[in-house]
Chain A
Amino acid sequence: MKPAPFDYDDPRSVDEAIGLLARYGDECKVLAGGQSLVPLMNFRLARPGRLVDINGIESLGQVKVENGRLLLGAMVRHAQVERSNDIAARWPLLHDAIVWVGHSQIRNRGTVGGSVAHADPAAELPCALAALDAKFHVLSRRGPRVLRWDQIFVSEFTTSLAPDELLTAIEVPPQDPSTGVAFVEFARRHGDFALGGAAVSITLARNGTCSDVAVALLSAGPRPVRAEEAERRLKGGQVDEAAIKQASAAAVQGLHPTSDLHGSREYRVKLLQVMTERALTKAVHLATRRAA
């Protein structure tokens, strides 16, 4: 099908964009890479009255490193992240997650800001950003806000962004070079929506105990899930096979992923446990090599 008619603006600056959002509010939708919004519009599941296309705002397409922190402009394409050697070396979890996003044609056009604002619980990037304790820079005529992942992601396809607010950048804190990371997911075909997945970042002290760990799950609930109980159990202890098994079991305690024709709730819980186990095993292996 074809999209329903809409009015269209293509501002050249962030200031112009937030002016339009302030003026039209609820009526409009921001068009970033369009790889999720346009399919919904083609099916007429979404019928925004007005699109504010931010593809022409050059300042939003920049990747910067400031004081060791990675700043991804909202319009940075997935392919830009995928091809960046600097990101692969210093924020490997982002690189490992992004290669799972859709197909190459989608990654050429899709943006990091779009993935966040779309807030699909099966999306890779929000999950990785939750594991990395990323911050989200938001701007409107009312002023700037900086949100944590648990403040921006509210529920399925729902963020705390107000209609007049624009997500401008994603900030990722520096990562300890000895940290081991892993991103694993299971989809029926690569590029499909994942039935379950896990992002792990773990740092080991010299004596082999876990000094820091983050475990985030995708397709595990209405928004990215941080497996806090699993993290608590791992911190400070030796991370051997038994500890990984225990933590993975703890990670899926109390989860209620949706049941659908692709997989029952029981199946998905089991899958998430296996994904967590694999991600932890891989990340610990890398961290052990790096700590040595």
Chain B
Amino acid sequence: MRKIAVQINGRVVEGEVEPRLLLGDFIRDNAGLTGTHFGCEHGVCGACTVQLDGEPVRSCLMFAVQAHGRRIATVEGMAPSATELHPLQQAFHESHALQCGFCTPGILMTMEAFLRAEPDPSPERIRAALAGNLCRCTGYQNIVTGVRLAADRMK
């Protein structure tokens, strides 16, 4: 067992964990943040995407011990307050960019970083950036619309 301290959405979460514990399980079980979802558990579906020091990574392909002393962002940290959504979340809501919502946290974590790097993306660039996240409900059209709407508002 190892003692670790991980900063998640600004809060330091401590735990004593087995080296084999995946980062996503630490986030869900130890930090109690269940917005991060495990889908495939082998890096294909993108549902478990979180940000490690600001960069999107798969939380199923990292061990919690590797996040010791690092900064993690999850979907729970996006909204500025309990009554207000992040512009990307608001745009997803309005554009019907989600149905069941299972994939949405991973997509939001990916797209938030993408819009920071490319604030004015073409629909083609948005599609390319979405390639690592699977969604079985929407057919992606409304996700692209939502990301574009958020980009317009965040300018």
List residues of A whose CB falls within 8 A of some B CB.
1-8, 10, 34-35, 38-39, 41-43, 51, 53, 55, 79, 102-106, 108-109, 189-191
B55 touches A79 (CB 8 A): yes
B65 touches A109 (CB 8 A): no
- B55: chain A residues at CB < 8 Å are 79, 108
Interface membership of chain B positions 30-74, coded 1 if the CB is closer than 8 angstroms to chain A and 0 otherwise: 000000000001110010010010011110111101100000000
- B43: chain A residues at CB < 8 Å are 35, 38-39, 102, 105-106
**A3 vs B131: C-alpha distance in the bound complex, in angstroms?**
26
- A35: chain B residues at CB < 8 Å are 43, 58, 61
The tally of residues in B whose CB lies under 8 Å from a CB in A reads 28
**A42 vs B48: C-alpha distance in the bound complex, in angstroms?**
14
- A150 smallest CB distance to B (angstroms): 30
**A270 vs B120: C-alpha distance in the bound complex, in angstroms?**
40
Instruction: Decide yes or no whether B153 CB sits under 8 A from chain A.
Output: no
- B132: chain A residues at CB < 8 Å are 102-106, 191
Q: A1-B41, A35-B61, A108-B56 are in contact. Are A103 and B19 (CB under 8 A)?
A: no
B128 touches A190 (CB 8 A): yes
Instruction: Decide yes or no whether B155 CB sits under 8 A from chain A.
Output: no
- A190: chain B residues at CB < 8 Å are 128, 131
Residue from the set A39, A79, A102, A191 with the largest chain B CB neighbour count within 10 Å: A39
**A42 vs B65: C-alpha distance in the bound complex, in angstroms?**
16
- What secondary structure prevails in chain A residues at the interface with B? loop
List residues of B whose CB falls within 8 A of some A CB.
2, 18-20, 22, 25, 41-43, 46, 49, 52, 55-58, 60-63, 65-66, 110, 114, 128-129, 131-132
**A97 vs B16: C-alpha distance in the bound complex, in angstroms?**
40
- A109: chain B residues at CB < 8 Å are 52, 57-58, 61-62
A6 touches B19 (CB 8 A): yes
Q: A4-B20, A8-B19, A51-B19 are in contact. Are A42 and B131 (CB under 8 A)?
A: no
Q: A5-B20, A42-B42, A191-B132 are in contact. Are A34 and B62 (CB under 8 A)?
A: yes
Partner of B131 from the list A4, A43, A51, A189 (CB cut-off 8 Å) is: A189
Q: Which residue of A lies closest to B43 (CB)?
A: A39
Q: Which residue of A lies closest to B49 (CB)?
A: A105
A6 touches B129 (CB 8 A): no
